[in-house]
Amino acid sequence: MANLILILGDQLSPNLSALDGADRHEDLIVMAEVHDEASYTNHHKKKLVLLFSAMRHFADHLREDGWQVHYQHYHPGNPYQNLEAVVADQVQQLNATQVITTECGEWRLHEQISQWHERLGVPVEIRADTRFIASKQEFADWAKDRKQLRMEFFYREMRKKTGLLMTPEGEPEGGQWNFDADNRKKWTGNPPVPAPFRIEPDGVTRHVIALVEEHFADHFGTTDDFHFAVTSTDAQAALEHFIDFALPCFGDFQDAISDTEDWLFHSILSPYINCGLLDPLAVCEAAVQAWYSGRAPINAVEGFVRQILGWREFVRGIYWLNMPAYAQENRLGNTRALPWFYWTGDTKMRCMHKAIDATRRNAYAHHIQRLMVTGNFALLAGIRPEEICDWYLAVYADAYDWVELPNVLGMVMHADGGYLGSKPYAASGKYIQRMSDHCANCHYQVNKATEDDACPFNALYWHFLDRHRDSFASNPRMGMMYRNWDKQKPERREALIRRAGHLLANLEQL
Ligand code: FAD
Ligand code: DLZ
């Protein structure tokens, strides 16, 4: 009585619920590199290399551990180019009595798998993904009857649930839930940033790089200098590297942006956490241990834990509570197309060029680049949510719909009407100047707003506020912005709106 156990490309965890109670001798694990998953978006080449190589290593590891594994390597000539076709074929070959899988991370594929029991003619058991700290039901229960969903309050529940950074008396360690106010320093070169963790590609990865170069040549990005970990052992080493060298400064410089350093003090762990090579709770526990043993300060450790225990769990909850309608939201009524320079980096705006160029090279940009540079620009320019969401889904090694969509559509674009965040993260060039050293190297002048060489973020910021006055003027967190706008002379306001109109009509030339 054999079961077929399907493991997806982002389920590379030995403690996966689909494996609970499985029989190494009877059951068959199926993993498959398929065209439909590799091309539902223009995945960055490095993301494809990471996933295919990590999947291959994981399958080898399972075999060494005594499991029977059917693994399909990618080839455009394969007869089965989607997961259903691979599974259907294996169900037949094995004469399987049922299919077991862990719930899929995104709506698109989840919808398909939910219908497999009818299409395959065998029962399909879909188990909860226990790698998340909150179950979907737990989040739904928390959200029920709340007028507003705010990450901070959900995060406190997760702190209490896990006991992370909690005293035996049930109080937050350090006397505060949140040390964000300490985490806004600009980075000016000191302390020096640690070298990023790197693993040189082994034979499997080199083979996959060649495969991606051959069959996915038209995808975004480059495979050059691929140095991601592709096994859980190496991902664990990446975690230790972060804790030893970057975590102590993570908090102080969490919001900083640099003209010369791609990674600063960030962990670069999301690609591993999201595909299952690292367990999110274990990552948080390791950071907390660093605080208890005096190796990192509380503002760094709390800030880091909040991102995973708070934001990561919160956006996943929002996603599953609101899909599929959430993906259609466009409450600000945006209509503009995504400028082509998002794909090329070919823009005179230094901050945008640097963020997009890093994205192209690394399949990575840190949070503040995503939020306050490429995201902020898309918000101010009124880009259609669907287009900017698809860009973010394509270009990052950590991008999956469940985490990308709420971050982009909710946090960045405010397209959900403030459901996820209480106010839009709209900012002028001044913010970028305060947090980075880009502006000194930019073609545009950050201290100007209406002239031909003025930083585009400035006039676009005022235009955004002005055109969305009805949506935001009564938001208490935005009152000051509107008072600043209103107290400017009418001629100045007209000049700003004129300049913004010109910029919006000529986005491609910026
Ligand atoms: P660090 O800065 O070191 O943070 C530690 C960890 O916290 C990350 O590894 C990640 O697991 C978690 N985290 C931090 N912020 C968030 C967040 N807002 N939502 C969920 N998890 C978070 N993250 C993704 O994993 N996939 C995405 O597709 C993604 N798209 C984003 C798009 C936009 C527009 C924005 C503003 C943020 C997005 N994020 C996404 C969140 C965040 O930017 C990345 O998780 C982070 O930059 C990953 O780099 P890191 O591992 O060095 O993170
Ligand atoms: C992202 C991705 C890619 C690029 N390729 C595969 C694949 O070939 N086979 C597979 O099983 N999974 C892949 N994935 C991950 C799935 O798309 C993923 O399970 C969903 O995005 C759900 O989060």
The tens digit of pLDDT for each residue in 74-92 reads 999 999 999 999 999 999 9
Distance, in Å, from the CA atom of 5 to the CA atom of 498, rounded to the nearest integer, reads 60
Residue 210 near residue 73, CB atoms below 8 Å? no
Between the CA of 37 and the centroid of ligand 2 the distance, in Å, is 5
Between the CA of 365 and the centroid of ligand 1 the distance, in Å, is 9
183: pLDDT strictly greater than 90: no
361: pLDDT strictly greater than 90: yes
> Tens of pLDDT along 306-351?
999 999 999 999 999 999 999 999 999 999 999 999 999 999 999 9
Ligand 1 and 105: CB distance under 6 A: no
pLDDT band at 66 (very low <50, low <70, confident <90, very high): very high
Distance, in Å, from the CA atom of 167 to the CA atom of 190, rounded to the nearest integer, reads 33
Ligand 1 and 267: CB distance under 6 A: yes
Per the listing, tokens 């503009």 go with 336
Tokens for 328, please give them.
């259609």
Distance, in Å, from the CA atom of 111 to the CA atom of 39, rounded to the nearest integer, reads 18
> Tens of pLDDT along 50-64?
999 999 999 999 999
| Exposure b/e, 207-239, CB count within 10 A at least 16 = b | ebbebbeebbeebbbebeebebbbbbebbbebb
Tell how far CA 197 is from the center of its chain.
Answer: 19
The whole-number pLDDT of residue 1 equals 73
- Number of separate helices (H) and strands (E) present in the chain: 25, 5
Per the listing, tokens 């030339």 go with 509
Distance, in Å, from the CA atom of 245 to the CA atom of 117, rounded to the nearest integer, reads 49
Question: What is the atom index within ligand 2 of the atom nearest the CA of 7?
Answer: 11
Name the residue with higher pLDDT: 117 or 182. 117
Mean pLDDT of 445-469: 97
> Tens of pLDDT along 28-52?
999 999 999 999 999 999 999 999 9
Residue type, 263: W
| Exposure b/e, 376-391, CB count within 10 A at least 16 = b | bbbbbbbbbbbebbbb
The whole-number pLDDT of residue 147 equals 83
User: What are the backbone angles phi and psi of residue 454, rounded to the nearest 5°?
Assistant: -75, 150
Between the CA of 292 and the centroid of ligand 1 the distance, in Å, is 25
182: pLDDT strictly greater than 80: no
> Tens of pLDDT along 482-508?
999 999 999 999 999 999 999 999 999
Which residues are within 8 A (CB) of 421 and not within 5 positions of it... i.e. 6 or more apart?
410, 411, 414
Cis peptide before 476 (omega within 30 of 0): no
Mean pLDDT of 337-366: 98
275: pLDDT strictly greater than 90: yes
Percent of the chain surpassing pLDDT 70: 100
Between the CA of 250 and the centroid of ligand 1 the distance, in Å, is 14
